[in-house]
Structure 1
């Protein structure tokens, strides 16, 4: 097979699995290769059950177009997947079934990429990189704690008896902060579910895949303990043989598009005092019960704090019910919020149905707090803007993220019990809102500003994240010289 390599620049191919949470950081990673290092980038997008939300995100995030996007053809997994399959199981099957399409797409390229970067659900495609003699990397749009737990779960699988949630002792990972049993990721909640077996296999493939490196959407100083453990042969380094590159934070930029699409909202924010508004959003994939939505409404009202609430209709399904379709229920919030709520709070708050330009909101000077589901994208957006948080984890790895924000970094408060275990009452919500919005002696504001400054420094030339990506750039350049 002949590829045109004449006068070619280094070329990276990136494979993204379905889901906005995966797509956003992958796009930003591609942009960084192009704008900072003059690479060619091809983004392969796996077919998704997502409706309009993901397509709109892909279009808006890649305008103007600075790299090639190849949308792989749709596949039918209905005869493969079991009814009611969990998210990780669905994603793994999709990524498994698209391998032939990916192989064909690469074969048809005029210029062969020097490297293939797959995300955590696409690890089985690393063999394709070997076929075409490409460098191979795994990108995790997550933090170091998540990689550590994923890599070590195959060992925990042999060590731990019974369900992880039922363990009396914390789960210990060499060199890392211990994981409380109630904070494990969703695939570990039921060891009889096929999702768990897919997750264990992901850990095996990461450890044994002979990859050239792992890319993490974090920065060195955010989790120095975990980063040290990856490099220590007596700790996680004995399992993770490939280098771990913290190249984040990779987040969508704020811009004028947010203001134009929500002018009324930003006109209102412009006249609010600095750091006086709490932003409330549970992401594009999380849903709450009717009673919990009611309690949040009352908690906000009782706090008497200004707020912007991106609200979604309640659901009796799981908290990740909207992961793929991004929500499709456009009911008027007045039909499910407490009677008279919007009228009583019309001068102190704004309720927005379904979606809002989050990065533009968080970067506004009037925003002082964020009640968040702790998705990693939202977490990074909050930290980059120096916004304190109320950690309200719902699904996936969000409990792990919430524990990092509260106990590890001290930039968030959290309900006394996990929200997935019980409904959080209005009095507790009121108390948390006041604590985050009123600058007390707990030091949350100063700590979050330190993290903001640290993240910005990491991204600059000479910073840890810039230098980490530069090491990958040099490997790709060397690969190009070898094949030429």
Structure 2
């Protein structure tokens, strides 16, 4: 009797934890729910300790593609987005070689948005190609419509007096555009437009959102929708999220002490502060944040990373790189802050097991950079947010969370434009934990809990995202 051969799918991830983690988690869905054989091709930065740990802990088969030599291809002024695009472009020959030889022959290649240059390879090898957008549908809409905006709009987007209109979607405020659109003369903008043009050349799109959260934008993107018509885009769009980490890596002694501390706190009384795997603050902003937390008199867990003045995404390729567990935090925190807050706050150097923290009953709020992965981890655990966007598409995420969905508080002015002062931080932290000045609920916590239930339902058997991924699996199986 011939044994049933499992379907083989290859997923391609670009460098960075915000790309690698959602790719691996999508792969695990195919393994657990559809019994697929999954290979993840991970183009790695090889400068991140945490990245290495995640690669070694995955249930999927991982093929590590070392970061190509970028000497002479990028200069020191090129930002993260440019470097990512060039890395992925230079990795194409290695990707093609692996796809041509790997056994069993893959039935589909699923790439992230920086891996779209590999779509023609899939077509050449007669393999289905999908793009996995680890962010949400509104960001996808902006990416695919950007080539049209490029032709329609004169001058810099950030200088426009009116919001950028996208057919069938909410408009995007000029100050909220993704980093790649901030300077139209920058190389990363040209790379961004290429991505927007390549995405519709795939056989379909998988988006890390769910039907009930973003129905309007998803309908606009799909065949017959206003955006789809404007672009003549006729590929299926599947909402398959929320896809996020379900569990952490192995526990450590530092993690055990953190959990023990959280166990001693009241339910929903602690604010968690973290700027993701790549976010950094200036020295001045760090001091203001510390003093704001102290003035709020609320309990907190803060993942502390050394301040860097030059760039808010300075730690993107190096998360967890610190050789020493003990970061010399006292050098860049206000004098006496550590000793004064010892009983109410916990400082974690560099990197924390975020899912473990957000799942804990004591966490009542998350002051976050609004990376989409962190946002989903917060919302699916019923934790309201304080939006503190830093780079990439995070300003759009903050607007979606605070203004459309009502799941977050946000600063009066973008943190990237002006230092947020301690008084405002104090007020936001108090409000997210205690409610407004009169102790009344602002409705955010209730809406987050409602969204949490909606996410659970979408992923359950028969739910919208469960059905969507099953449809993709069926097509791949042929």
Report TM bin, short chain.
over 0.9
Distance 1:468 1:38 in 2: 16
Distance 1:243 1:96 in 2: 26
1:30 aligns with 2:23: no
1:21 counterpart residue number = 18
Match for residue 209 of structure 2 among 205, 214, 218: 218
SS in 2 for 1:71: strand
Distance 1:356 1:255 in 2: 10
Distance 1:185 1:327 in 2: 26
Question: Counterparts in 2 of 1:180-199, with a 5 A limit?
Answer: 180-199=173-192
How far did residue 222 of structure 1 move?
A: 1.0
Q: 1:74/1:200 Cα in 2 relative to 1: closer, same or farther (>3 Å)?
A: closer
Of 235-244 and 215-224, more deviation after overlay is shown by 235-244
2:104 counterpart residue number = 111
2:388 counterpart residue number = 392
2:337 counterpart residue number = 341
1:248 aligns with 2:241: yes
Q: TM-score, normalised by structure 1?
A: 0.94
Deviation sequence 1:348-376 (CA, Å, 0-9, x none): 11111111100000000000000000001
Q: 1:205/1:422 Cα in 2 relative to 1: closer, same or farther (>3 Å)?
A: same
Q: 1:349/1:248 Cα in 2 relative to 1: closer, same or farther (>3 Å)?
A: same
Of 288-297 and 80-89, more deviation after overlay is shown by 80-89
2:281 counterpart residue number = 288
Structure 2 alignment gaps of length 5 or more: none
2:62 counterpart residue number = 69
Distance 1:184 1:375 in 2: 14
Say what the alpha-carbon RMSD is for the aligned residues. 1.5
Contact (CA 8 Å) 2:45, 2:66: kept in 1 or not?
no
2:55 counterpart residue number = 58
1:418 aligns with 2:429: no
Deviation sequence 1:167-208 (CA, Å, 0-9, x none): 11011100001111100000000000000010011101113x
Contact (CA 8 Å) 1:384, 1:455: kept in 2 or not?
yes
1:142 counterpart residue number = 135
2:95 counterpart residue number = 102
1:457 aligns with 2:434: no
Alignment length (residue pairs): 468
1:237 aligns with 2:228: yes
SS in 2 for 1:220: coil
Distance 1:445 1:170 in 2: 29
Distance 2:243 2:464 in 1: 13
1:358 aligns with 2:354: yes
How far did residue 50 of structure 1 move?
A: 3.0
Contact (CA 8 Å) 1:259, 1:266: kept in 2 or not?
no
Question: Counterparts in 2 of 1:121-140, with a 5 A limit?
Answer: 121-140=114-133
SS in 1 for 2:390: coil
How far did residue 107 of structure 1 move?
A: 2.1
SS in 2 for 1:322: coil
1:481 counterpart residue number = none
Distance 1:319 1:28 in 2: 26
Distance 2:50 2:358 in 1: 20
SS in 1 for 2:169: coil
Contact (CA 8 Å) 1:73, 1:101: kept in 2 or not?
no
Q: 1:74/1:198 Cα in 2 relative to 1: closer, same or farther (>3 Å)?
A: closer
2:470 counterpart residue number = 470
Distance 1:352 1:34 in 2: 34
Distance 2:31 2:225 in 1: 37
Deviation sequence 1:100-132 (CA, Å, 0-9, x none): 111111222231100000110011101111121
SS in 2 for 1:34: helix
Contact (CA 8 Å) 1:259, 1:360: kept in 2 or not?
no
SS in 1 for 2:212: helix
SS in 1 for 2:68: coil
1:12 aligns with 2:17: no
Contact (CA 8 Å) 1:47, 1:75: kept in 2 or not?
no
Contact (CA 8 Å) 1:19, 1:50: kept in 2 or not?
no
Structure 1 alignment gaps of length 5 or more: 479-484
